[in-house]
Amino acid sequence: MKSISLKFVLVLLAVFMLQFNHASAASAKSTLNVGETLAKGQMLSSPSGRFNLVMQNDGNLVLYRDAGIPMWDTNTDGDVFRYYDTFLGREFQRYPEALTLLPNTLRVTDPSKGIVFWTADVKGWSNAHYKGNVPAGLIGDSLVVQDDGNVVLYATGKGPVWASNTGGY
């Protein structure tokens, strides 16, 4: 009787775990909107779940494909900003903590002090993409992790503003 009960419990546990994993993948967020942040340990996933943009605990923002192959990153792992507070008479250190999306600005920052460690070159990318004829009012407001492996900052109703240029998978 004990072996039947144990088997039943193990089967129920396995079914529960399958449902939990499926629900997690189905509810993963693929878009970051203006005013939102992606904090350490959080990620955006493509709708298929194949691509993940992860704000790592080391401060680096990394795009992974196929469960762990890095494709692109901000190279902010290990970055540190040191400053000396003359009033307190000691040095402080700040680290990259989050990806923040502001209107037309995508950056890795320490939100508590506003220190910027990486900024997407929105102007340069847009000029190259639109061959110098950037549409008027092109303001990025939505960052999307796409199923082709590209991470794109879009201006709603107008088109792309910046991309990681990692599409094609």
85-130 confidence digits (pLDDT tens)? 999 999 999 999 999 999 999 999 998 888 999 999 999 999 999 9
For the domain 29-163, what is the CATH code?
A: 2.90.10.10
Q: Please tell me whether residue 2 adopts helix, strand or coil conformation.
A: helix
> Which has the minimum average pLDDT: 25-34, 35-44, 57-66, 143-152?
25-34
Residue 45 to residue 161: CA distance in whole angstroms: 20
Q: How far, in Å, are 107, 131, 161 from residue 128 at the CA level?
A: 20, 5, 10
Q: How far, in Å, are 27, 122, 156, 157, 165 from residue 141 at the CA level?
A: 22, 12, 7, 10, 18
Residue 52 to residue 147: CA distance in whole angstroms: 10
